[in-house]
């Protein structure tokens, strides 16, 4: 199977400019942050399914090279849980059809994914990993 990259290395740099811009962490009100995990429980290259916010939004929390990122857990191509997939470099691969998203931006990285995943701001306070669910 040949996967065409949509962004990043050799891809469409124009798509990168279309990534949703998140507000700076220090400008997000405290009430939007939810503690979802302990940083020491998720090692580099690992991920975890979590829920956060008033509506318990399904989120995949990922540790990529010691940095934490969060995307909606549901693939935008089909109803598959991204937390059942695999982190490969700086991408998360959907377990259903092998489509992929960039972990930092949520942008599509491999077909059949063409719609970006929702990105959540993440911070670490002490050992607590907190995700902001914005209105």
Please give the residue that has the higher pLDDT: either 5 or 28: 28
For 30-132, the fitting CATH number among 3.40.50.720, 3.50.50.60, 2.30.30.100, 2.102.10.10 is 2.102.10.10
pTM summary value:
0.86
Sign of CA dihedral 81, 87, 88, 90: positive
Report the pLDDT averaged over residues 28-46: 98
pLDDT in tens, 45-90: 999 999 999 999 999 999 999 999 999 999 999 989 999 999 999 9
**Structural domain boundaries of the chain?**
30-132
Among 93, 61, 64, smallest CA distance to 77 is for 93
């Amino acid at each position: 199977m040949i996967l065409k990259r949509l962004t990043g290395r050799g891809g469409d740099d124009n798509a990168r400019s279309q990534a949703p811009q998140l507000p700076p962490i220090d400008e997000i009100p405290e009430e939007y942050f939810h503690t979802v995990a302990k940083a020491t429980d998720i090692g580099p290259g690992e991920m975890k399914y979590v829920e956060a916010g008033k509506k318990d939004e399904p989120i995949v929390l990922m540790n990529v090279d010691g940095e934490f990122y969060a995307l909606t857990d549901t693939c935008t191509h089909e109803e598959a849980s991204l937390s059942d997939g695999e982190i490969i470099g700086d991408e998360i691969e959907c377990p259903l059809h092998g489509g992929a998203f960039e972990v930092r931006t949520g942008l599509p990285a491999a077909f059949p994914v063409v719609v970006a995943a929702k990105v959540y701001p993440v911070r670490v306070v002490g050992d607590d990993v907190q995700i902001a669910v914005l209105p």
